[in-house]
């Protein structure tokens, strides 16, 4: 008799990080844990890639690959391993998009199902994988851009970023300097912001990640390096498709006491 309490399915992929790129083969194993053996009407696996632009709208699939792992038959008591291999490819006329989680989302899910007849509930298991889509064009040449955070009451923070066209695989770099500040600085942060437009409706800017680069009242006139990384999943290549666009900016945020802040926004274009 099997040592587990109930029958179940589990989808396991061979790659520990579950990260794939277009043209890769998704290989893995579906483990069927069977208690008190039973007949079934087949085991199927589907790789589904879809855009979920809004909760009230149905997902829009752009990848839908199906495979039969086991024909109708009988599973005896115990564990059964079913190997699978599926190519990562889009539906005809579509293209693969990079995985992304925000108010909208772009997800890739492996869905395994097993129907067991009218007297037993069907079994289902899901496993999310993550897809990176490199840009088909060569990377742009870096073009440094200067910026300044200034207020009338004696504040000026100046600096530069090495490029506004940023690779997700590399850090966002540059430098800044506090030229003048009459008040005591509490911190300086670099905030990655995103703005989604869903079905023509522009959303509010949302903070994705904030990295503190200065703690306390820094000395004036000293160059301070900027070196921050882009997060996986919550940032993606800048996107504009039917019904959804995602744009990004980097904010330099200077914080003082009592919640007072000064900030400057730098629009950026992200690519893989």
pLDDT in tens, 59-91: 889 999 999 999 999 999 999 999 999 999 999
Residue 200 above 80 pLDDT? no
Alpha-carbon span 214 to 240, nearest angstrom: 35
Residue 205 above 90 pLDDT? no
How many percent of the chain have pLDDT more than 90? 76
Q: Give the pLDDT band (50/70/90) at residue 168.
A: very high
Q: Which residue has the higher pLDDT, 19 or 1?
A: 19
SS (H, E, C) 125-164: EEEEEEECCCCCCCCCCCCCEEEEEEECCCEEEEEEECCC
The average pLDDT across 137-152 equals 86
Residue 139 above 80 pLDDT? no
Q: How far is CA 16 from the centre of its chain?
A: 17
Mean per-residue pLDDT over the chain, rounded: 92
Q: Of 180, 193, 194, 198, whose CA–CA distance to 244 is shortest?
A: 198
How many percent of the chain have pLDDT more than 70? 98
Alpha-carbon span 97 to 69, nearest angstrom: 27
Residue 138 above 80 pLDDT? no
The average pLDDT across 39-47 equals 96
Report pLDDT for 228: 96
pLDDT in tens, 210-263: 999 999 999 999 999 999 999 988 999 999 988 889 999 999 999 998 778 999
Report pLDDT for 55: 67
Contacts for 217 with CB less than 8 Å, ≥ 6 apart: 184, 185, 186
The average pLDDT across 133-159 equals 88
Alpha-carbon span 250 to 219, nearest angstrom: 24
The average pLDDT across 121-138 equals 92
Alpha-carbon span 20 to 15, nearest angstrom: 9
Report pLDDT for 9: 96
Long-range contact set of residues 252-255: C-beta below 8 Å, sequence gap at least 24 = 252/147, 252/149, 252/157, 252/159, 252/176, 252/188, 252/189, 252/190, 253/188, 253/189, 253/190, 253/191, 253/210, 254/149, 254/155, 254/157, 254/181, 254/185, 254/188, 255/185, 255/186, 255/187, 255/188, 255/189
Q: How far is CA 162 from the centre of its chain?
A: 24
The average pLDDT across 3-24 equals 92
Alpha-carbon span 52 to 133, nearest angstrom: 18
Report pLDDT for 1: 57
Residue 57 above 80 pLDDT? no
């Amino acid at each position: 008799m099997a040592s587990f309490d109930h029958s179940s399915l589990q989808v396991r992929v061979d790659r520990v990080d579950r990260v794939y790129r277009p043209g890769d083969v998704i290989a893995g194993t579906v483990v069927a844990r069977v208690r008190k053996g039973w007949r079934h009407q087949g085991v199927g696996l589907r790789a589904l890639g879809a855009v979920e632009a809004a909760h009230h709208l149905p997902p829009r699939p752009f990848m839908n690959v199906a495979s039969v792992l086991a024909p109708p038959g009988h599973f005896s008591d115990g564990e059964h391993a079913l190997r699978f291999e599926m190519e990562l490819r889009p539906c005809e006329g579509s293209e693969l998009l990079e995985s992304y989680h925000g108010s909208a989302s772009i997800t890739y899910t492996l869905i395994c199902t097993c129907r067991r007849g009218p007297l037993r509930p069907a079994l289902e298991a899901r496993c999310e994988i993550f897809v990176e889509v490199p840009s088909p064009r060569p990377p742009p040449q870096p073009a440094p851009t200067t910026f300044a955070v200034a207020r009338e009451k004696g504040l000026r923070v100046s600096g530069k970023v090495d490029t506004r066209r940023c690779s997700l695989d590399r850090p966002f770099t540059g430098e800044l300097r506090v030229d003048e500040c009459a008040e005591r600085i509490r911190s300086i942060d670099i905030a990655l912001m995103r703005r989604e437009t869903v079905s023509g409706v522009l959303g509010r800017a949302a903070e994705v990640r904030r990295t503190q680069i200065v703690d306390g009242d820094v000395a004036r006139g000293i160059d301070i390096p900027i070196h921050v990384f882009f997060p996986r999943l919550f940032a993606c290549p800048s996107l504009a498709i039917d019904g959804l666009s995602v744009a990004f900016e980097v904010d330099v945020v200077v914080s003082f006491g009592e919640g007072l802040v000064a900030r400057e926004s730098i629009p950026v274009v992200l690519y893989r």
